Structure 1
Amino acid sequence: MIMNKKSSERIAFFIFRLLGFSVLALLLALLGFIVYNGIGVINWEFITTAPTEGMTAGGIYPAIVGTLCLVAGSMIVAFPVGIMSAIYTQEYARDGWLVRIIRIMTNNLAGIPSIVFGLFGMALFVNTLGFGDSIVAGSLTLGLLALPLVIRTTEEALKAIPDTYRTGSYALGAGKLQTIFRVVLPAAFPDIITGLILSIGRVSGETAPILFTAAAYFLPKLPSSIFDQVMALPYHLYVIATSGTDLEASRPIAYGTALVLITIVLVMNLLATAIRSYISKNKKQSA
């Protein structure tokens, strides 16, 4: 019986290890494919100039700027609203039918296809509110798309904080609001950053929502206000990979655009991870 248990454990660990390495190999193969096909067009001119000749030449600088504007705008919308919503459901609302309904709706909202968010954003922000195809309309739509993820990760981060933190703060005379903002949130903030990282990865690669609300087919200039249309890397990649008269000439640019998009997402994730590690380190030193 002992040998059978050990054999079963070895087989199980082997399967888990094999699956883990398979996922890693698939990821490396995907990244290697993009790098191999896109590295040839990456240079300073490609990153810092506007597209020319029907987007079969030139660079992708306006699309890079547009993507960063949309990601930053969506985080400005999703992060504070998501954190405040999670604070209400986790710290203030009683665990009753209302909270259960909110959580069910939040989970359902996370499963809605992104193109539905795009249609909703077009109906509300572009047409009803009159923002037109613009950075603000695209940012609000992407913010709604990222909102469920921010809420759920923030709720889990707040739930992981021991109740002794709260009772100790109350014992020292602090109120509920003071306890949340000076004790609970600082302790949970490193885990809340995880939601920010996941949200950035989610919205930076979305095409459907910005297709209806913000992205321009060909706009080789930088926006001058938040009410301007912009080019964006996901939509730019879609356009040059599927449209045009010379797909063979534009294919290297498509791979180069994909490589730049992956690099931007990686850099933003690394930056957020560094901030999380810095906050966690300071919290441990002050404890």
Structure 2
Amino acid sequence: MIIYDSKKWNSLFTTLFKTYKYSYNMRQLLRFIFYTTLYAISATLLNMHYLADLYQIDTDFFSLIGVILSLFLVFRLNSGYYRWWEGRKAWGALVNDSRSLSLKLDSIIPIEDMNKRRYFGRHISNFCMSLVLHLRDSTDLNKYHLEKSDKADEIAEFKHHPNKFGSKLFRELEAMHKNNNISDFDKYFCNKLVQRFIDTLGTCERIKKTPIPFSHSTFIKLFIVIYIIILPFGLANVFGYLTIPAVMVMAFAMIGIEVISEEIENPFGTDANDLPIGFITDTITENVFEVLGIDHEIGYTAKKYSLAEEAEIIH
């Protein structure tokens, strides 16, 4: 994710230049605009010097088609942003649920029982980190807080790591209840929070594995291409050589919306505008360890996501 100051209008172009190498949509958009410009130049010259007397397209036609296309593009952008925002809400809920679970466990686990505190602290963190790796199709065991008792080989063989760590939390709560270490209500409350972890997992998987319908996305792309192809032949007789920048501006707006929507519809990757879920997980880990009092008791060397890895800060 690119972190920037939205109030600095005077540094807009500097910011765009700095973000070029980080932003997929900017590189893709400029590539499209380059080819569109070449086409606009060719079509404008062809129309003005060879086809001007053969036909003339009324510009009202393009106004009507433009209105229809704009409605499709608004829907496309809203559908992409809704997925991005739903992903952010899911991770916000995971942050809150992790804190709530750690606060509850802090109140029911004796301060001197550091083994239990370490166990829950590690696996709350491991669940969140496994969700990051799961959504990014990665399996880096170095990101987990593991001890010898965790049997790293067993975890590595498990295909769905979030399920594995969720199971560990449920099993430990059940064992504590059987040993009368927690009451029925405490077990119910903690189980409910862990269940919400699983609900967040399901929400994120749904967003990732359910792309925008193929026909919907393809139709909009095809509509944009057809509109840009015929646009110079309708504007050349009115705008002359100004048709070239006019087509560039129209292409920038329409293709830009489509490219932005493509990037944000899966917000869990590592593109410039994706969510910094690795950094969010490190924040959860720090909060949980601090609440359970194990931040100085435990010397784990799990590899963290730094803010620099997850976000580019533009001043």
Q: What's the TM-score, normalizing by structure 2?
A: 0.32
Higher relative contact order (CA 8 A, sep 6+): 2
Q: What's the TM-score, normalizing by structure 1?
A: 0.35
